[in-house]
Amino acid sequence: MGQTWTAYLPSFLRKRLETSPLLRTLVGNTSWLFADRMLRMGIGLVVGVWVSRYLGPEQFGLYSYLVAIVALLAPLATLGLDNIVVRELVAAPSATRRILGTAFALRMLGSTVALLLAVLAISALHPGQASEVGLIAIIAAGPIVQAFDVTDLWFQAQTRARYTVIAKSTAFLALSLLKVLLILSAAPLVAFVWATFTELILGALGSAIAFWRHVMPLTRWQPDWRMAQRLLRSGWPLIFSGIAIVIYMKIDIVMLTQMHGAGATGLYAAALRVSEVWYFIPVAIITSVTPSIIAMKHEDEAVYMRRIEKLFVLMCRISLAVALPITLLAAPLIGLLFGPTYLGAAPILAIHIWSAVFVFLGVAQSPWDLAEDYTRWFLVRTVCGAVINIILNLLLIPPQGAVGAAISTAVAQACAAWLLNGVNPRSRPIFLMQTRALIPFGDRLFRRVVRG
């Protein structure tokens, strides 16, 4: 009785945690985030695969297509503010009411614009398809509800993730059970869309209630026009960067559907469900370490850079540990999870999973981008990645279909997250760190080269 979770750790690690409050906070916060993501990865993958098998490639492809269109507009809903708001909360905790109130108002406005644009887009692409317009309206309404997730940004800044994890995990579990019941009752596609929207409502409501109970009532928020202007000035490169990111992450689904139909998109989306499920790992780690890395920038430049390099090494090792076995086991894995109707997704998965290596490296660079206030370079890299992906899609999707889309995405990710850093003198040290992380025994090799 009375023992904490640290009592079950090895003695050397327990000693480090006991003597380092910062490390203990980061490990505790990351543990909550990993617990949430592992829950979503496990149950979400099982339920998601079950839903995919139930709907079949055509219906699942249609749903993925509509979600991709909404995703292309998602940066307008968030306005690139999330990391900026976390930075502001860390730097000026006394201004919390104005920061959160302003961020909430901006996200509500951006989400409403995104909803209208999504409906207009599907109406133009598929005129007369009322059912598709209705489905995309439900999906696009999600970001409006998620405006309340600005409360989660405060918990991130304070490295107190458990409150929002509990709220969102509870909503996720409840709606996962509902989706199983919908499958058993042979429900139509629209029912699953409504279930996903309900999950967003419950998760956002739970996060807002946690903030209300432990911090302050939301009625005390104070939107401020000058604060809005300052946040938007800092965030506009991230808005366009976000658009560029979703273009080279999701435009392949839109282009594939237009060129080869919903069936091909269903196979591609099945591969992505396995390939992208791992992306929670870098996000969970970076969410916890970003505040401390930004703070270290102002305390000790050498330690700051060493922490970033170690972060690249960690991300690269984790991503390779994921990519290698999935490449070798793609066919049996797809057959086991999705069934024989989805076996065409195996070669797609074997290629697309290598995007994860560069996604991990790109996410690991975000604390450096923020600490250096160099988000414009992030914008340049992501725009270039988006352009490369679109060009490759136009060249490869017509003859190779979904496999061509997977190749395009992997190459675009490598260019945006890694290769382009070598072009810019200011980001070249980051390129060298990433390259050392990618090459086995890279540190030793680079030291020998430098010594001649």
Please tell me the distance from the alpha carbon of residue 2 to that of residue 432, in angstroms, as a whole number. Answer: 47
Please tell me the distance from the alpha carbon of residue 441 to that of residue 347, in angstroms, as a whole number. Answer: 30
Give the residue, 383 or 323, on which the prediction is more confident.
Answer: 323
* Inside any domain, residue 267: yes
Q: Which amino acid, 213?
A: R
Cα-only R_g, the chain = 22
Give the residue, 452 or 405, on which the prediction is more confident.
Answer: 405
Output the DSSP codes for 359-418: HHHHHHHHHHHHHTT-HHHHHHHHHHHHHHHHHHHHHHHHHHTHHHHHHHHHHHHHHHHT
Q: Coil, strand, or helix at residue 58? A: helix
Q: Sorting pLDDT into bands at 50, 70 and 90, what band is 431?
A: very high
Please tell me the distance from the alpha carbon of residue 139 to that of residue 142, in angstroms, as a whole number. Answer: 6
Give the residue, 364 or 93, on which the prediction is more confident.
Answer: 364
* Inside any domain, residue 279: yes
Please tell me the distance from the alpha carbon of residue 114 to that of residue 140, in angstroms, as a whole number. Answer: 7
Please tell me the distance from the alpha carbon of residue 259 to that of residue 265, in angstroms, as a whole number. Answer: 10
* Inside any domain, residue 5: no
Identify the pLDDT of residue 350.
Answer: 97
Please tell me the distance from the alpha carbon of residue 404 to that of residue 395, in angstroms, as a whole number. Answer: 8
Domain extent, residue 376, equals 10-451
Please tell me the distance from the alpha carbon of residue 370 to that of residue 346, in angstroms, as a whole number. Answer: 37
* Inside any domain, residue 392: yes
* Inside any domain, residue 82: yes
Output the DSSP codes for 64-88: HHHHHHHHHHHHHHHTT-HHHHHHH
> For residue 150, is pLDDT > 50?
yes
- For the chain, what percent of residues have pLDDT higher than 90? 41
Instruction: Provide the whole-model pTM.
Output: 0.74
- For the chain, what percent of residues have pLDDT higher than 70? 87
The answer to whether the beta carbons of residues 97 and 221 sit under 8 Å apart is yes
DSSP 146: G
Range of 39-43, 82-86, 382-386, 437-441 with top mean pLDDT: 382-386
Q: Rounded to 10 degrees, what is the CA torsion of 20, 21, 26, 28?
A: 110
Identify the pLDDT of residue 435.
Answer: 92
Token pair recorded at residue 448: 């020998």
* Inside any domain, residue 1: no
Identify the pLDDT of residue 9.
Answer: 45
The number of distinct structural domains making up the chain is: 1
Token pair recorded at residue 1: 């009785």
DSSP 3: -
* Inside any domain, residue 17: yes
The answer to whether the beta carbons of residues 228 and 105 sit under 8 Å apart is yes
The answer to whether the beta carbons of residues 257 and 335 sit under 8 Å apart is no
Across residues 295-321, what is the average pLDDT? 89
Tens digit of each residue's pLDDT (9 = 90 or more) over 2-41: 444 444 444 544 555 455 544 444 555 556 666 666 777 7
Give the residue, 101 or 17, on which the prediction is more confident.
Answer: 101
Across residues 423-445, what is the average pLDDT? 82
Across residues 382-398, what is the average pLDDT? 93
